[in-house]
């Protein structure tokens, strides 16, 4: 049978040309079904529908997997396989380079790392390692870097001991911030001053900011005693007690240093220098003191 060919549909404007008289040929054409060409947007629309259906199916599937925990398990499996592949390619921990360590124990650092040689280098989280290392005694701060293919680099800043805290019969090293470094391991630091008082470490930074302004005078301090949680008494290397005021401690300490350099105050036969009264210096003499003449502006 001969195939039928559809002709383009003739458009007639509304109210346009007259109807033509039907002929046998035209009647045959009308009886034949005409196959319309597909709209130009049909292919794109079908593609969009297909993508939408696929997204809905996949979305629903992943939603179900997420609810059942399968996605997490799959991610862990993929991650483990990826790490194993990097290790097989040679990205494994072989060397640990440490810079800045003087007092921190190497064994404590290795234990805090949480990773042994041979571990995949990409499995090491620098942030987590840093947090663990900063809990090690003596470590104040640390920078952690993975250096490919097989090195972990640690740059350590250690704490500086500033005083020995005596409390409840025990001795602890404390740093500039007043934090305890180690306990009962102070024999190697006989030249550090003692601080006494339950809250002494917490107030040590404020004291250091004042007394360290005069290194010569600070070098003579052997102990600092916290009094009533409000102020400090300082014991000097020649046995003199210096009573600092609660307020304006810096001015009192500077005044003491100036009087000593000008009049040799701390070389006299005195036991106490009381700086608690503003603009006035009170000293207590030793029994039988030979030089009983205080400098100007002081009371004996």
Global pTM reads 0.67
Would you give the end-to-end CA distance of the chain in angstroms?
138
Do strands 281-285 and 270-274 pair parallel, antiparallel, or not at all (unpaired)?
A: antiparallel
Same-domain check for residues 129 and 202:
no
Same-domain check for residues 101 and 151:
yes
What pLDDT digit, counting tens, does each position of 127-177 carry?
A: 999 999 999 999 999 999 999 999 999 999 999 999 999 999 999 999 999
Say how far residue 50 (Cα) sits from the centre of its chain: 49
Same-domain check for residues 150 and 165:
no
Of the ranges 47-56, 85-94, 256-265, which one carries the lowest mean pLDDT score? 47-56
Structural domains of the chain, count: 2
What pLDDT digit, counting tens, does each position of 231-247 carry?
A: 999 999 999 999 999 99
Q: Would the pLDDT of 13 be above 60?
A: no
- State residue 92's pLDDT score: 87
Same-domain check for residues 104 and 218:
no
Say how far residue 172 (Cα) sits from the centre of its chain: 25
Same-domain check for residues 272 and 189:
yes
The CATH number linked to 198 is: 3.40.50.11690
Q: DSSP character for 92?
A: B
The CATH number linked to 143 is: 3.10.20.310
How deeply is 56 buried, as exposed, middle or buried, from its count of CB atoms within 10 A (0-12, 13-18, 19+)?
Answer: exposed
Of the ranges 15-19, 201-205, 257-261, 291-295, which one carries the lowest mean pLDDT score? 15-19
Question: 267 with 295: CB under 8 angstroms?
Answer: no
Same-domain check for residues 180 and 143:
no
85 band by pLDDT with thresholds 50, 70 and 90? low
- State residue 88's pLDDT score: 67
Mean pLDDT score, 196-219: 95
Q: Which domain holds residue 138?
A: 95-158
């Amino acid at each position: 049978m001969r195939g039928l060919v559809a002709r383009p549909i003739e458009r007639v404007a509304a109210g346009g040309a007259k109807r033509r008289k039907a002929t046998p040929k035209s009647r045959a054409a009308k009886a034949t079904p005409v196959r319309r060409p597909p709209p130009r947007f049909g292919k794109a629309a079908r593609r969009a529908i297909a993508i939408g259906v696929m997204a809905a199916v996949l979305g629903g599937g992943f939603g179900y997997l997420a609810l059942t925990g399968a996605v997490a398990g799959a991610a862990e499996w993929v991650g483990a396989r990826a790490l194993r592949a990097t290790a097989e390619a040679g990205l494994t921990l072989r060397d640990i380079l440490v810079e800045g360590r003087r007092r921190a124990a190497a064994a404590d650092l290795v234990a805090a790392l949480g990773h042994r040689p041979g571990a995949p280098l990409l499995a090491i989280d620098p942030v987590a390692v840093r947090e663990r290392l900063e809990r090690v005694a003596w470590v104040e701060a640390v920078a952690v870097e993975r250096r490919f293919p097989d090195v972990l680099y640690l740059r350590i800043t250690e704490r500086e001991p500033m005083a020995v805290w005596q409390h409840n019969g025990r001795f602890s090293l404390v740093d500039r911030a007043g934090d305890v470094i180690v306990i009962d391991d102070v024999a190697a630091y006989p030249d550090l001053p003692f601080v006494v008082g339950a809250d002494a470490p917490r107030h040590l930074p404020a004291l250091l900011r004042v007394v360290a302004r005069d290194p010569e005078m600070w070098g003579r301090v052997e102990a600092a005693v916290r009094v009533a949680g409000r102020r400090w008494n300082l014991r000097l290397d020649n046995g003199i007690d210096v009573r600092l005021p609660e307020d304006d401690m810096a001015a009192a300490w500077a005044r003491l240093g100036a009087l000593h350099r000008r009049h040799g105050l701390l070389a006299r036969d005195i036991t106490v220098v009381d700086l608690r009264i503003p603009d006035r210096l009170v000293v207590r003499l030793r029994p039988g003191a030979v030089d009983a003449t205080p400098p100007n502006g002081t009371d004996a």
